[in-house]
Every structure is written in structure tokens, then in C-alpha cells.
Copies of this chain bind each other. A is one copy, B any other.
Amino acid sequence: MPVTGSALGVAVIGHSFMGKAHSLAWRNVNATFDTPPVARRVLVGSNDQAVQHSAQRYGWSESSTSWQQTILRDDIDIVDICTPGALHAEIALFALAHGKHVLVEKPLANTVAEAEAMAAAARTAAADGLVAMLGFNYRRVPALALARRLITEGRLGQLRQLNIRYYQDWLVDEQAPMSWRLRKEQAGSGALGDLGSHAVDQIRYLTGSEVSSVAATSHTFVTERNGEQGTEAVSVDDAVWSTLELENGGMATLEASRMATGRKNSLRIEAYGSRGSLAFDLESLNQLQLCEVGAPAAEQGFKTILVTEPEHPYLDGWWPTGHVLGWADTFTHQLRDFLQAIDGGPAAAPTFDDGLKVQRVLEAIGQSAAVNGTRVQLAGQP
């Protein structure tokens, strides 16, 4: 439904890396896109002084250390959850139950059980006109939105192979210290959940198809690290490799590693179809490579499109041709879509159901890796 009257009141829960990225996006979305006006009311954190400082810096009217009290305020319409994953379910369920629109940073939750509860709550809340959306911001990279558009329009023909490789290198050094991210009980998994979740979301986003089965291997290269309590075993994966069968007959591969020396934030995607193919690397965020079978053999090749034209997704809000965007701008795009959904525009996506499905695929990958790579089926689940 269209938003009328005064601005939508926003609270962001969490103010570290993601809290900052979301805060800047909230600052900019009304200035960039035609969206309902928002009022940046409350930034919430656990440390009083720290969150006060962040609130002032990022331009929030107030700060708070209580997400419950904040959510209960009448002048808060939107709750944007940027906390660690373990808190996502509790906060989101509370917010939906109290009639708030909810945006949750990925991953949806730490467990499938939590994700199921959240997805159910979101479905219920939708009947009351509440929007619940999950924050996989790479869907808002213009080059990837263009990729999806081209695939959806059939420009690649039948999509056969999709390769997604998400590589970072911040664990290369054996001397890098032990941390909560390397403990299974706290982090759930390693590269799989952290990087692989983006990959699974892109597989579903780009192909429009569900994953029907997975076979996977994972590995931990540095098996123990020094922490504050001395040497400790690393209980999550450093890297994971998986082959996924899709319901539409395509095959996808997923590779994730935090040990890929020299790759800083390299989400590389290649899609091969019967009529064309695409290639993308997040480190060159504004470019998409397209190859079409239709060209004469002597003129076939991968064309590098600089995705800065007014015709490109999200570019109408920005600059003339040739002026590139940055990683943080994808969060502004995310808010555009979220706000337009609240305002009666196209339905918000990814939904919590999408998040649940990603979670199930990640769980299946973990299961397959635990049984020597034997393929695990995902069929039959709602």
C-alpha cells in the first residue's frame, strides 16, 4: 500500500560493519531514489557510549541499548536488524509480532529451525501488510541485476552451468589469531555460511530455480590457531566446494574460501547457456561480461559492459554514463526496493522463505561434506 502522511520511522539494531553500511544507506536513499520519506530515529547497540557515538556520527536522532523498547515505540515503523546471526530470529519475530516492517541482514538465522519460525512469521505478517525482507545485498549490484535480467529474458538460452566462486584471503596467515568466527558453536560454519550463503542466494536469484541436490567437500587447512587461552582447534571449514543439481536441469558449482591468497573480496560468477554466457567479479563491481552465440564465429567473444547506463538496473538514481558505483551503494539500492515494497510497489525479495531455502541448501552441503561427499537430496520440502 502507498505510504501517506509522515515519514516512516526507522530503527537499526546493530552498529558495527553492517550497521554502518545500513546507516549510510538510510541517509542516502531518499536523496537518490523516489521512495517514501524516512526518519532515522534510533540506532540500537549493547554498549551505551559506543552506540551514542555511532548514532551521532551516522546521523540518528537517538540511540538506545534496548531493542525491545525501541521496537515498541509508536514512531518506529521499520526495524532493520544488523546484529550477529544468533539474535536475528528473536528480534525479527518480536518486531513482526508488534506490527513492524523488518529487514534482516543475511544470513537469515543460524539454524534451520530459527529460519523456519521466521519464515512462518513473515508469511503471517504479510497478511497484515507487513514487509519482511532479507538483506542479500549482492542482488543489488547493478551488473548482477542485469545478469538476471538477461538470463530471465532468455538471452543465454537454456542455462546449463553456473560457477560461483567466492574467495577471500584473510585467514591465509597461520599466525592469524583464533576468534569466535572459527568456532563451530558460535559461527555455525566457516567459509560455507559466511561466503557460501551469498553464493547459494545468487544461484537461486540468477537461475530462478531451486537446488535439488548437493555433493560437497570441505577442508580446514590450518587446524589450530593461537587464541587468548593458548592453542585451540579450529572447528569450522576454511574452504568448501560443492556441485549442485538444479530443478531446471542446470548444474551449479559453489566454491568458497578464506584462504585464497590475493583475493580480497572476489565473488566470481560465470553462467554458461546454450545461446550465451556471462562472467562477473565483485572486485570489478561495475562490469559484466557477455558472450553471445549469435555473433558470427569470427566476431564472437566476451564483451565487457560498463554497467553505468541509465538503462541499467538502479542506475536511474545516480549519475551520467561512465560514473562507477561502489560496494556500499548496493545497500541504498536494497532500501529502495524495500521501501517501494512497503509503498505498494513490487513485492520485496529475497523473502524470509528465500532465506530459509538458502539455509537448507547450506545445511545439505554440510551434511554431504560430512559423509564423504555423497550427494544429498533436497527435494520435497515446502
Interface residues of chain A, those whose CB is within 8 Å of chain B, are 17, 21, 23-24, 27-28, 30-32, 57-59, 146, 156, 160-161, 163, 165, 168, 170, 172-174, 215, 217, 219, 221, 239, 241, 243, 249, 251, 253, 255, 257, 259-266, 270, 272-277, 282-287, 290-291, 293, 295-306, 308-312, 318-329, 368, 371-375
Contacts and interface: CB of A to CB of B under 8 A. Distances in A.
Given A265-B324, A299-B305, 17 more contacts: A21-B319, A24-B32, A168-B322, A215-B372, A221-B249, A241-B243, A265-B321, A265-B322, A265-B323, A283-B286, A300-B309, A301-B304, A303-B303, A323-B328, A326-B328, A371-B374, A372-B374
A266 B260 CA distance: 21
B311 A298 contact: yes
B368 A219 contact: no
14 contacts: A17-B320, A27-B27, A28-B28, A217-B251, A221-B251, A243-B373, A261-B275, A296-B311, A297-B311, A300-B305, A301-B303, A304-B304, A326-B329, A368-B373
Contact of A283 (B259, B322, B325): B322
Task: Identify the 6 closest CB pairs spanning chains A and B, nearest first.
Answer: A265-B322, A326-B326, A264-B322, A262-B291, A215-B373, A303-B303
A277 B262 CA distance: 7
A161 B259 CA distance: 8
A261 B293 contact: yes
B285 A290 contact: no
Nearest to A308: B264
A146 B30 CA distance: 33
Contacts of A322: 168, 264-266, 283
B17 A319 contact: yes
A262 B302 contact: yes
